[in-house]
Amino acid sequence: MENTAQSIDIIGLVKASGPYLVAVAGMLFSFIQTKRVAEITKEKDLEITKLQQQSVISIEILKSKSSAILKLQEIYSPLFAKVTATLNVYCCVVSSKKSEDIKTDLSERFADDYNSLTFESRKIVLAEAIAICQSLKDHNCYELAVKLDNKMTEALALVDIPGACAGSEHVEPIYTALRELNLLYVAFFFRLAESEAAAS
């Protein structure tokens, strides 16, 4: 009888403690789930933070590239405009006049602009452009900047300051150099825009 009484006590104990055991098991299960959800949330938060940092860095890089392109436009546009305008004035004066009139017109309309385009002033612009291109880490832009400067020098070297040359045969190489200069200028800024688009 003792065994039976003991069995009944165990059954009673299990019946009495059953809901408590289920509650404890449920709490343990929910604790484990909550801990797992917290770990997943922490991982996701870390990933989101990392993505935010990457996007902030990307935005800063894009801003610096945009400001570099604006700076290049700021330094090259006036020089390019002055070189092309000066060469176009020269071509107009030389192609349409007689050699006696050319010297006077060149000294009145052309000499001051041409003299302001010194080698040193162009090299200062080139040095700034090279520094900006190096900060952009774009070797092709660097090469295009050097080619653009060389083409400006080449085009300006075709000018006959004393005014001894005249006619379309003298002007044609200058127009060819101007076309090439225009193409290089467009290629330079197209390359910059392309590199900026690749960064974004």
Q: Give residue-wise pLDDT tens across range 27-62.
A: 888 888 888 888 888 889 889 889 999 888 888 888
* DSSP of 79-132: HHHHHHHHHHHHHHHHHHS-HHHHHHHIIIIIHHHHHHS-HHHHHHHHHHHHHH
Q: Give residue-wise pLDDT tens across range 131-145.
A: 888 888 878 888 888
pLDDT, the chain, mean: 80
Residue 183: pLDDT above 60? yes
- Tell me the domain boundaries of the chain: 63-199
Yes or no: say if 110 and 86 are a contact pair by the CB < 8 Å rule. Answer: yes
Determine the pLDDT at residue 178: 92
Yes or no: say if 167 and 99 are a contact pair by the CB < 8 Å rule. Answer: no
Determine the pLDDT at residue 155: 86
Q: Give residue-wise pLDDT tens across range 94-109.
A: 777 665 666 666 666 6
Predicted model pTM: 0.67
Alpha carbon of residue 22 to chain centroid: 64
